[in-house]
Chains A and B, each alone.
Chain A
Amino acid sequence: MAFIEVHDLVKEYKVNIRNKGLIGSIKSLLIPEYTMKSAVDGINFTIEEGETVGFIGPNGAGKSTTVKMLTGILVPTSGSITIGGLSPYKDRKLNTAKLGVVFGQRSQLWWDLPVIDTFDLLKYIYKIPENIHKSNIEHFSEILGLDEFIKQPVRQLSLGQRMRAEIAASLLHNPEIIFFDEPTIGLDVVAKEKIREFVKFINKERNTTMLFTTHDMVDIEKTCDRMIIIDHGKKIYDGTVEEIKDTYGGNRILSVEFGQNYENILMSGLELIEEKGNKKHFKFAKDDFQVSYLIQKLSQQYEILDITVQEPEIDGIIREIYQGGIKLNESLSGVC
């Protein structure tokens, strides 16, 4: 049996239909009408101990609802969840004792007090033995550099510092699983990188199972072994980032700056996608043409000043999947 097992998970919300205008509002007040909306519509997956899994999907796809059911905040409409044999909502207290949750947009630190005060309180809440509490704080301080601000009130911290403290707070009781809900939201590049490294380190060091929801594909690429794409409440992909990239990242962009403004550059294999004066961008399929061949051909016919080749970013691929531009191919191992 896998560590986390999710079967046919469904979550339906009752949505109040609001009518337009004043009369409509009064009508909805007196005779409320509802429709059922399924936020999560039959999701299955299993996660093994020590895995790092990223959940991605457009806003409103059902990621957060799924995570809320996994953490025991919401009760599923139907289907089942077990975490280490326990039900997150029936055995809430037992389950949460081994759970850590980081909400990027909500703090669990006491706003007006130094970080260390919240850490102390958590010691009592999670019944953390004194020696473990102490060694964890020392350990995290060292890696995350908490020392420089641990005695400052949380309200004076930068967002990056606060997130570091937030993550340390969620790890103090040595949780077996930790949920990160948009952990890097609003952070600068350096702060993001620091957090990703730390998360990876803890995963290696303690074999902690980690689940992420994020909109930042770099988070997923750098920290997760596996990603699950959820859209319209259904799981549409469950596999590696690499596989998606290899399959749908087949196009390359060739950006060329010409010596003069040529009209109608025609060459087989190159498709013009954008032009700005002398600078033109072409798309080509990397499996059909070699870059060296294309460059050679171009330079024979035209005067070229500069040339660059770009790999498409995973962000772009994911965007196309959301917008329906890419239909995931059945032959991919991760497609559901």
Chain B
Amino acid sequence: MNLFIIFYQYSKLSLKTMLEYKFDRTFITLAIFFREMISVVVMFLILTRFLHIKDWQLFELFFLYSFLFLSYSLFIFLFAGIRDFDHMIHSGEFDRFLTRPLGLMFQIVASRVDYPATLGHGIVGIILFMFTASNVGIDWNIQNIIYYIIALIGGAIIQASIFMISASFSFWTIRVENLRNLIFFNSRRIAGYPISFYPSIIQKILIFVIPFAFVNYFPAQYYLGKEDIELFWGGYMYLTPFVGIIMFFIVYLFWKMGVRSYSSSGNSMY
């Protein structure tokens, strides 16, 4: 309970900081919104003019796409600290966390909330969701709504885990943000289309290596039940939250190893 209060206090201060720079942050939010919206529009043009994906309707494809935005928005809202972790190591902020009577991961997660990115991606997600959710034949009963929320949280945790792997390298002063961005954002782009569309090797990567398939494809298939789900084991559709939790747990152990190495080797620079 106390942790929730502290988390709330931190996010209040983050919000206040944002309001200090209303003008600037509004523009950042708009910039993110338009950048992402353009990718949606480009996808729309490609899908209406050149590309037909077997059996998938336009609304269904955008319903699939909406998961990426909403879960990314949730990830940034909850875990922006993990994204910015390497900066916390270099600036010495992490040393400060070590001198406080709270869990380290909690402080990392609580100390950053990136409202512009949350809103920028979130609004795109909400627009896509609003246009598609009622047009793809989903009965929004309680069970479906609950699964939807669980799938979003699971997807956010999967993305947090991917970022945390690269965050952990900061403990050994290895900078991998560029590699991470390369892998993360390209995988995300690929996951914008149904994975059945790709060669088997890419499908396997998106299921077992960088499990973006669990962020959008399998949850969307839970609702849409398109024919190509036959290509995969049916149980995948329910696995998103478990993949998220297991992956987070494994990555957390790696991260703990990093903390141990940091405090024993002291990469801190002064």
Distance in angstroms between the alpha carbons of A126 and B103 in the assembled complex: 12
A76 to B198, CA, bound (A): 52
Q: Provide the bound-state CA to CA distance between A101 and B92, in Å.
A: 13
Instruction: Scan residues 93-138 of chain A and give those whose CB is less than 8 A from a CB of chain B.
Output: 93-94, 96-97, 99, 101, 103, 105-106, 108, 110, 112-113, 117, 120-121, 124-127
Taking a contact as CB atoms closer than 8 A, the residue among B10, B96, B100, B266 that contacts A74 in the complex is B266
**A: number of interface residues (CB 8 Å):** 35
Q: Which of A77, A106, A117, A125 contacts B101 (CB 8 A)?
A: A125
Chain B residues 1-19 with CB under 8 Å of chain A are: 2, 5-6, 9-10, 13, 16-17
Give the contacting residue for B264; candidates A75, A97, A103, A126; CB below 8 A.
A75
Question: Are A120 and B266 within 8 A (Cβ)?
Answer: no
**B13 to chain A: which residues have CB within 8 Å?**
110, 113, 117, 121
Query: Which one, B6, B99, B266, contacts A11 given CB within 8 A?
Result: B266
Contact check: which of A93, A108, A127 meets B96 at CB < 8 Å? A108
Distance to closest chain B CB from A310 (angstroms) = 35
Known contacts A125-B6, A127-B2: A13-B266 contact under CB 8 Å = yes
The chain A residue sitting closest to B102, CB to CB, is A125
**Is B185 at the interface (CB under 8 A from chain A)?**
no
Q: Does A249 contact B (CB under 8 A)?
A: no
Task: Among B16, B91, B99, B268, find the residue whose CB has the most chain A CB atoms closer than 10 A.
Answer: B99
A112 to B9, CA, bound (A): 16
The B interface is mostly helix, strand or loop, or mixed, namely: helix
- A68 within 8 A of partner (CB): yes
B9 near A96: Cβ-Cβ < 8 Å: no
- The answer, yes or no, to whether A89 is at the interface (CB within 8 Å) is yes
| Assembly CA distance A124 to B265 (angstroms) | 31
**CB-CB contacts of B95-108 with A at 8 A, as 1s and 0s?**
11011111100000
- Considering the chains assembled together, what is the distance between the CA atoms of A208 and B66 in angstroms? 56
Contact among B95, B101, B266 for A65, CB-based, below 8 A: B266
The answer to whether A125 touches B100 (Cβ under 8 A) is yes
Does A73 interact with chain B (Cβ within 8 Å)? yes
Task: Check if B55 is an interface residue, CB within 8 A of chain A.
Answer: no
Q: How far is the CA of A77 from the CA of B92 in the complex (A)?
A: 21
Q: Are A121 and B99 in contact (CB under 8 A)?
A: no
Contacts of B103 in A (CB 8 A): 93
Contact between chains at A97 and B101 (CB < 8 Å): yes
Interface residues of A in 64-78 (CB under 8 A from B): 64-65, 68, 71-75, 77
Are A92 and B21 in touch, CB under 8 angstroms?
Answer: no
Please indicate the chain B residues that have their CB under 8 angstroms from the CB of A108 in the complex.
96
Judged by a CB distance under 8 angstroms, whether B20 is at the interface is yes
Query: Is A153 an interface position by the 8 A CB rule?
Result: yes
Contact of B102 with A93 in the complex, beta carbons under 8 Å: yes
A74 lies within 8 A of B264 (CB): yes
Is A96 within 8 A of B99, CB to CB?
yes
A165 → chain B, closest Cβ, in Å? Answer: 15
Check: B233 CB closer than 8 A to any chain A CB. no
CB distance from B93 to the nearest CB of A (A): 8
- How far, in whole Å, are A121 and B260 apart by their CA atoms in the complex? 28
Cβ-neighbour of A73 out of B9, B17, B95 (below 8 A): B95
Q: What residues of chain B lie closer than 8 Å to A71, measured between beta carbons? A: 98-99
- What are the residues of chain B within 8 A of A14 when measuring CB–CB? 265
B99 x A112 contact (CB < 8 A): no
The answer on a CB contact under 8 Å between B5 and A124 is yes
- Which chain A residues lie closer than 8 Å to B16 at the CB level? 113, 117
Q: How far is the CA of A110 from the CA of B264 in the complex (A)?
A: 29
Smallest Cβ-Cβ distance to B6: which chain A residue: A124
The CA-CA distance from A89 to B16 in the complex, in Å, is: 34
Name the B residues within 8 Å of A77 (CB-CB).
264
Contact assessment for A110 and B102 in the assembled complex, using a CB-CB cutoff below 8 Å: no
B266 x A96 contact (CB < 8 A): no
A71 to B20, CA, bound (A): 34
Contacts of A94 in B (CB 8 A): 101
B270 within 8 A of A: yes
Q: B256 → chain A, closest Cβ, in Å?
A: 13
A13-B265 in contact (CB<8A): yes
Q: Does B144 contact A (CB under 8 A)?
A: no
Q: Tell me how far the C-beta of A77 lies from the nearest C-beta in chain B, rounded to whole angstroms.
A: 8
Can you spell out 16 A-B residue pairs with CB atoms less than 8 angstroms apart? A14-B265, A68-B95, A68-B266, A71-B98, A73-B98, A73-B268, A74-B263, A75-B260, A75-B264, A93-B101, A99-B99, A101-B99, A110-B17, A117-B16, A121-B10, A126-B101
Q: Report which A residues bind B (CB closer than 8 A).
A: 11, 13-14, 64-65, 68, 71-75, 77, 89, 92-94, 96-97, 99, 101, 103, 105-106, 108, 110, 112-113, 117, 120-121, 124-127, 153
